[in-house]
Amino acid sequence: MNILKSLANRERVFDFLVPAHSPVDVRHGPILYLEDVNVSFDGFKAINDLNLTIDDGELRCIIGPNGAGKTTMMDIITGKTRPGIGSVWFGSRHDLLTLNEPEIASLGIGRKFQKPTVFEALTVFENLELAMAADKRVLPTLIARLTGEGRDRIEEVLATIGLVELRYATAGTLSHGQKQWLEIGMLLMQRPRLLLVDEPVAGMTEQEMERTAELLTGLAGKGKQSVVVVEHDMGFVRSIARTVTVLHQGSVLAEGSMDTVSNDPKVIEVYLGAEEEAA
Amino acid sequence: MRMLPRCLSGLLCLCLLFGLPLAAQAQDDPGQALLDSLDTDSYADKGEAVETIIASGDARSRRWLEALLGGKLQRHKDTGRFVVVVENRGRHWPVVDALSFEDAGEMSRRELDRIGINNALRGQLQGALAVIDLHAEQVGERREAARALLGDVDASLAEPLRVVIGEEEDAEVRRLLEQALAIHRLEEGDAAAVDVLAGSLNTRVRSALNAASRSEDAELAAAATSALADIEQKMMLNRGLETLYFGLSLGSVLVLAAIGLAITFGVMGVINMAHGELIMLGAYTTWAMQQLLPGQPGLALLLAIPAGFLVAALAGVAIERGVIQFLKGRPLETLLATFGVSLILQQLVRTVISPQNRTVVTPEWMSGSLMLNEGLSLTLNRLYVLGFALVVFAGLMLVMRRTRLGLEVRAVTQDRAMARAMGIRATRVDILTFALGSGVAGLAGVALSQLTNVGPNLGQNYIIDSFMVVVFGGVGNLWGTLVAGLSLGVINQVLEPWAGAVLAKIVVLVFIILFIQKRPRGLFPQKGRAAEG
Amino acid sequence: MWLTRPFSERSTRLFLSVLLAALALVTLLNLAVPAGHPLHVSTYAVTLLGKYLSYALLAVAVDLVWGYLGILSLGHGAFFALGGYAMGMYLMRQIGDRGTYGDPVLPDFMVFLDWDSLPWYWLGFDMPGFAFLMVLLAPGLLALVFGFLAFRSRVTGVYLSIITQAMTFALMLAFFRNEMGFGGNNGLTDFRELLGFDLRSDGTRLGLFLATGIALALGYVLCRAIVASKLGRVSVACRDAEARTRFLGYRVERFQLFVFVVSAMLAGVAGALYVPQVGIINPGEFSPIFSIEVVLWVALGGRATLYGAVIGALLVNYAKTVFTGVMPDAWLFALGGMFVLVTVFLPRGIAGLLSLRPWRRASHTATTQPTTGESTA
């Protein structure tokens, strides 16, 4: 069933992706596959023999203490950092290590940064418009007009992220939580296959957090895209997670359901335990 | 005063009256005969007379020959008395007696006959004088005399010189004299003389060798040519060293001008376009100190060092408090605002002091040059500035590495919020850092006042260069600034001979622009997470 | 089509009508009002206004890159000067054998330097078509090469400002050299005619003024069209969050390069219109101070508005004319003071005071509407 679904998805995505790129092939398994990845900065090993597999349509939470290598892992996937050793595959067709940042972005990997970065001088609507999958070369952009289809898509995403009323507000005037949602919306506009979300609820109020949890589970739940969430807030992770991966010192310490992971003695020792003691 | 000529003519009458006894007395003096022999129309005879005078060993012969050479040995038309003119200006010349060298009052120039000389005689006299000088008491004078003889030795001088060489104790004088003799021998076609001359950088030696290399005597020509090649090599080395020196000197100026900027721009991230004007203030402080302490330029210069630092630092604090603090986090606006400040400061100096350049006196101990060998001498003021730049740099390194202020500055640079949380008063650190950077600009101005004109545009000429140095070296890295400044200075000087000063500068600018494309963070980029932010 | 978009904007229509009305008024007052009348605008004043208008076009070009792309170019004077030199070279060739030395081909300064033939880069400048093309191409090419190198290596912010300043400084030094073949210190001058019109006649001067005004209008519309297009929004995105834009799949450096080159060409046109009106072009136009002064015009008028740049250029230059006539010493004080006051107290410039910015209204409504987070599937 899953394979069938993803095939159907693939067809839909294909229409909107830049034709130059071949579609992501997930028939043979996971959408993202990291094998034996190593990165070191000036002798410090930030990532150490990391192996990670994300299935198509999965919502995965990644937790780990500070310095566990979570952000570096995101950097590797999006092409910002190049690992010394290892391989990173997107589907079974695209070797991410051979591509640069914009190429990876247009393949369908969207990343949401820790600190929300939206274009503050532009309106919510314009923010989404810029994020829309389209011909992004210079001259086509100059003469581009918004099609009815594009407008529909923007409205759809506006509805998803709950900013319909604020579509003509400048992004700079949004609250912190709204900016986070807008940024997720911008990622959705690109019809990504894989969403990387870095600490989405940091600094959010209780209600905003609930809203975000709904948003993220909704995104992955429909099998539209795979979502990887890096988060510190254990309550939030517990509320959305199906599978949790614990990173420690640059490699995977444990993986499984939230309950399995939180009962793992190794995990308790390096992470959860410390937190519960502190609490 | 009007009485004086009449008195003089009276005196002359007296002289005439007593002319006989005077002449008789003169005839007792052997010098009179020597001088008499000079008063002949034949230059050949005069030449012989000169030889006789030298041979006589008379203590006065040096002064006679000198006077003869200078056209100042003259004879009174009426009395036949030999006199030496002290000063030949106006119609009445003060004279001294040529025998006794006692004051003989004034004589009208119409009463006097000059003992004339021709070129041949002039050459002979110069050589003869040199030989006499070679017997001077002071070693220095003897060396001077020996050096003057290079290329001026002829057959008549050769023999006396050999004698002198045998008696001379100083090795340097002997070496120079042997070279002088060798030039003579070379002119006579003696190939062995080349060996003596080999390696000398003196221009006279080189022109003699040059002449010899064109000689018909193949052996001589070959020897001279190879000696010339050797000398040329040495000259190249010298020129290389000289270029390096000028390059380092220019580089030290660049380092001085840029190092303050490296602090305000590199460490604080503040673009201060008025940095050049802070340099200018330092230079004007030096000028003002010299106006306050007339006659003591050295002391004024030394006092200007702390004063220049203080003036520029205070101006810097005023700029920081008055403008920059309102523009935190807006570097482009800071750039514009400080540019406005620079315009105001320039115009202020023009209005208050003068639009013209002011001269700053170079104290005696800084003028002159240090002679390393015959082809290479280093001007002292540049040497001092080079040293000063290194001292300032070392001082700044100490401040940044070893003091509380340096620690706090580095903390604030890396993480402002965290530093504040640790109890560092970031605002105070800002002010002090800016004061430090500005003060160093003032020091640069003090140094520059010794090398260039002090005028309202002084700073403007250095601002772009300074930014280039900082960016080239790597922002936030003092070592980078030092290396970048010195190397840019040297590159500039190396390019100058074949490209000309302006083109060299253009080439350097284009080079930096291209370099920044290749390595946007400069020669020595800051590494790690802090640099990413 | 994207070019006509600005005409639907209220601010553009307002700007164009004010500009065209002013052009018509000046023409009327110059031609129809007799010379003695107090309302008469002399030809001298017309040329002065024409000069201001060419400056205004330059300011619009600078605002395009600074206001919308966030690139503070301190070297736009170089593009202006290159356009001016291209025009100047054409005008020099038009002198023909009427120069002091009467050489039919060589300009006076080359005869003076004992050159026996035209350097290759002077060839073709006797043809107006070629020369006018070079007005666009010379600054465009420099901007293309410079921008390609700079943006490719992601040199932005103050670094870019500093190296643009170094660029114009290097060019100034180069053009000061006689060997460059651009007249050295004195530059190019003693022009006679443009396209057969005598440059000293009143009619030509009025015509040049009108041409400059129309060029300003066209340049303004072009910039407005770029700004109002999606490309304009991408530019703003590059300005505010370059990394984010890159992650959205835009090749930021290409957008920067495109806008930079367009802006440089506009600056070149401004320079070309400036030269016949002032009658001289010399390396002084390359001086870094001039370029940075242009930035002040934009800052004073209000950046990222385009019309602010025009207002700023006209105001500052009018002030300069008045000041340098009445008390020349005070001008630099005034200019310096403006730099400080505008950046510290008037970051949005005069346009900010007028608060005509369209998005300000939008942001106002935004704050009045409380957010209700409705969940959606």
The model's pLDDT over C41-93, given as tens digits with 9 standing for 90+, comes to 888 899 999 999 999 999 999 999 999 999 999 999 999 999 999 999 999 98
Looking at the partner chain, which of C152, C153, C332 has a beta carbon nearest the beta carbon of B343? C332
Mean per-residue pLDDT for B276-298? 91
- For the stretch B25-38, pLDDT in tens is 445 677 888 888 88
Q: How far is B195 from chain C (nearest CA, A)?
A: 46
- For the stretch B335-348, pLDDT in tens is 889 999 999 999 99
Q: What string of DSSP letters covers C98-161? A: GSSS--SSS-HHHHHTT--S--GGGTTTTSHHHHHHHHHHHHHHHHHHHHHHHHHTT--HHHHH
- CATH, range A2-278: 3.40.50.300
**pLDDT for C25:** 93
Q: Say how far apart CA B322 and CA C341 lie, in whole Å.
A: 11
Q: How many Cβ atoms from other residues are within 10 Å of residue C266's Cβ? A: 31
Q: Where are the domains of chain A?
A: 2-278
**Which of B516, B521, B532 to probe the C interface (max C CBs under 10 A)?**
B516
CA C79, distance to chain mean position in Å, is 8
Q: Chain A: residue nearest B532 by CA?
A: A80
Per DSSP bridges, beta strands B82-85 and B73-76 are antiparallel
- For the stretch A188-200, pLDDT in tens is 887 888 888 888 8
Residues 207-236 of chain C with CB under 8 A from chain A are 226, 229-231, 233-234, 236
Q: Say how far apart CA C176 and CA C171 lie, in whole Å.
A: 8
CA C107, C108, C113: angle at the middle one, nearest 5?
105
Ordered alpha helix ranges (H), A80-233:
101-107, 124-131, 138-143, 148-161, 176-189, 206-221
Mean per-residue pLDDT for B456-483? 86
Looking at the partner chain, which of C230, C247, C363 has a beta carbon nearest the beta carbon of A101? C247
The letter for the amino acid at B441 is: A
Rama region for C208: left / alpha / beta (φ>0; ψ in -120 to 50; rest): alpha
Say whether A169 and C236 touch across the interface (CB within 8 A). no
Q: Say how far apart CA B483 and CA B466 lie, in whole Å.
A: 13
What one-character DSSP code corresponds to residue C36?
T
Q: Chain A: residue nearest B528 by CA?
A: A41
Instruction: Name which of A149-163, A255-269, B302-316 the model is least confident about.
Output: A255-269
Looking at the partner chain, which of C167, C329, C347 has a beta carbon nearest the beta carbon of B351? C329
**pLDDT for C360:** 44
Strongest mean pLDDT among A37-51, A139-153, B214-228, C135-149? C135-149
C7: which 2 tokens?
Answer: 């005409």
Dihedral of alpha carbons C192, C194, C195, C196, sign: negative
pLDDT, greater one: A44 or C65: C65
Q: What string of DSSP letters covers B79-97? A: T--EEEES---SSEEEEEE
CB B526 within 8 Å of CB B477: yes
Q: Chain B: residue nearest A42 by CA?
A: B528
Average pLDDT, chain B: 81
Q: Establish if C152 touches chain A: CB-CB under 8 angstroms.
A: no
Instruction: Look up the pTM and report it.
Output: 0.77
Which residue is listed with tokens 């992971």? A261
Q: Pick the closest to residue A161 from A112, A215, A115 (CA basis).
A: A215
Q: By three-state DSSP, how is residue C33 classified?
A: coil
pLDDT, greater one: C205 or B127: C205
**pLDDT for C131:** 92
Q: What string of DSSP letters covers B97-138? A: ETTT--EEEEEEGGGEEE----HHHHHHHHHHHHHHHTT-SS
Please state the φ and ψ torsions of residue A42, each to the nearest 5 degrees. 45, 45
Q: Pick the closest to residue C237 from A79, A103, A126, A185 (CA basis).
A: A126
Q: Pick the closest to residue A230 from A201, A253, A265 (CA basis).
A: A201
Contacts of B528 in chain A (CB under 8 A): 41-42
CA B170, B173, B178: angle at the middle one, nearest 5?
125
Looking at the partner chain, which of A170, A208, A214 has a beta carbon nearest the beta carbon of C363? A170
Say whether B467 and C338 touch across the interface (CB within 8 A). no
Q: For residues B189-205, b (16+ Cβ closer than 10 Å) or e, as one string?
A: ebbebbebbbebebebb
Contacts of C158 in chain B (CB under 8 A): 271, 331-332, 335
**Cβ contacts of residue C256 below 8 Å, gap of 6+?**
C69, C71, C147, C151, C238
CA B370, B371, B375: angle at the middle one, nearest 5?
140
Residues 113-142 of chain B with CB under 8 A from chain C are none
Q: Say how far apart CA B494 and CA B173 lie, in whole Å.
A: 36
Q: Establish if C5 touches chain A: CB-CB under 8 angstroms.
A: no
C95: which 2 tokens?
Answer: 């002198």
Give the DSSP H or E segment for B417. helix B416-421
C255: which 2 tokens?
Answer: 């957008």
Q: Establish if C8 touches chain A: CB-CB under 8 angstroms.
A: no
Mean per-residue pLDDT for C196-213? 90
CB A240 within 8 Å of CB A82: no
Q: Say how far apart CA B429 and CA B424 lie, in whole Å.
A: 8
Say whether B468 and C337 touch across the interface (CB within 8 A). no
Per DSSP bridges, beta strands A109-112 and A44-54 are unpaired
Which residue is listed with tokens 């410390």? A274
Angstrom CA distances, A183 to A134, B260, C364, stand at 18, 42, 22
Q: Pick the closest to residue B290 from B386, B191, B358, B366 (CA basis).
A: B358
**pLDDT for C367:** 36
Q: Pick the closest to residue C71 from C231, C252, C308, C215 (CA basis).
A: C252
What one-character DSSP code corresponds to residue B332?
H
**pLDDT for A28:** 63
B65: which 2 tokens?
Answer: 């020959």
B130: which 2 tokens?
Answer: 């040199």
- Number of C-alpha atoms within 13 angstroms, CB side, residue C309? 29
**pLDDT for A243:** 86
CB A47 within 8 Å of CB A72: yes
Q: Chain B: residue nearest A41 by CA?
A: B528
Residue B317, pLDDT above cutoff 90: yes
Q: Establish if C240 touches chain B: CB-CB under 8 angstroms.
A: no
**Cβ contacts of residue B495 below 8 Å, gap of 6+?**
B503, B504, B507, B508
Residue B7, pLDDT above cutoff 70: no
Tell me what ipTM this predicted complex has: 0.85
Q: Establish if C176 touches chain B: CB-CB under 8 angstroms.
A: yes
Say whether A102 and C359 touch across the interface (CB within 8 A). no
Exposed / middle / buried, residue B359 (Cβ in 10 Å: 0-12, 13-18, 19+): exposed
Q: Establish if A105 touches chain C: CB-CB under 8 angstroms.
A: yes
Dihedral of alpha carbons A26, A27, A29, A34, sign: negative
Which residue is listed with tokens 């930030």? A46
Q: How far is B532 from chain A (nearest CA, A)?
A: 12
- For the stretch B135-148, pLDDT in tens is 777 777 777 777 77
Looking at the partner chain, which of A131, A162, A211 has a beta carbon nearest the beta carbon of C248? A131
Q: Say how far apart CA B7 and CA B3 lie, in whole Å.
A: 6
Give the percent of chain B with pLDDT over 70: 93
**pLDDT for A26:** 64
Contacts of B527 in chain A (CB under 8 A): 42
Residue A59, pLDDT above cutoff 80: yes
Contacts of B506 in chain C (CB under 8 A): 170, 173-174
Residue C8, pLDDT above cutoff 80: yes
Mean per-residue pLDDT for A44-59? 84
**pLDDT for B1:** 43
C327: which 2 tokens?
Answer: 């008390």
Q: How far is B510 from chain A (nearest CA, A)?
A: 29
B263: which 2 tokens?
Answer: 């602090």
Contacts of A72 in chain B (CB under 8 A): none
**pLDDT for A64:** 81
Q: Establish if B531 touches chain C: CB-CB under 8 angstroms.
A: no
Give the DSSP H or E segment for C62. helix C43-69
Contacts of C165 in chain B (CB under 8 A): 464, 467
C163: which 2 tokens?
Answer: 């190296």
Give the percent of chain C with pLDDT over 70: 94
The letter for the amino acid at A195 is: L
Residue C371, pLDDT above cutoff 80: no
Average pLDDT, chain C: 87
- For the stretch C103-134, pLDDT in tens is 888 888 888 888 888 888 998 888 999 999 99
Q: How far is C245 from chain A (nearest CA, A)?
A: 9
pLDDT, greater one: A78 or C139: C139
Q: How far is A62 from chain C (nearest CA, A)?
A: 22
**Cβ contacts of residue C114 below 8 Å, gap of 6+?**
none
**Cβ contacts of residue B315 below 8 Å, gap of 6+?**
B278, B281, B345, B438
Give the percent of chain C with pLDDT over 90: 48
Q: Chain A: residue nearest C373 by CA?
A: A162
Q: Say how far apart CA B132 and CA B142 lie, in whole Å.
A: 9
**Which of A104, A113, A129, A136 to probe the C interface (max C CBs under 10 A)?**
A136
Q: How far is B164 from chain C (nearest CA, A)?
A: 57
Q: Say how far apart CA C87 and CA C125 lie, in whole Å.
A: 9
Say whether C366 and A170 touch across the interface (CB within 8 A). yes
What one-character DSSP code corresponds to residue B76?
E
Q: Chain B: residue nearest C148 by CA?
A: B517
Please state the φ and ψ torsions of residue B371, each to the nearest 5 degrees. -90, 120
Q: Pick the closest to residue B342 from B186, B223, B187, B457 (CA basis).
A: B457
Q: Please compute Rg for chain B using Cα positions.
A: 34
What one-character DSSP code corresponds to residue A147?
-
A14 pLDDT band (50/70/90 cuts)?
very low
Q: Say how far apart CA C253 and CA B118 lie, in whole Å.
A: 80
**pLDDT for B11:** 46
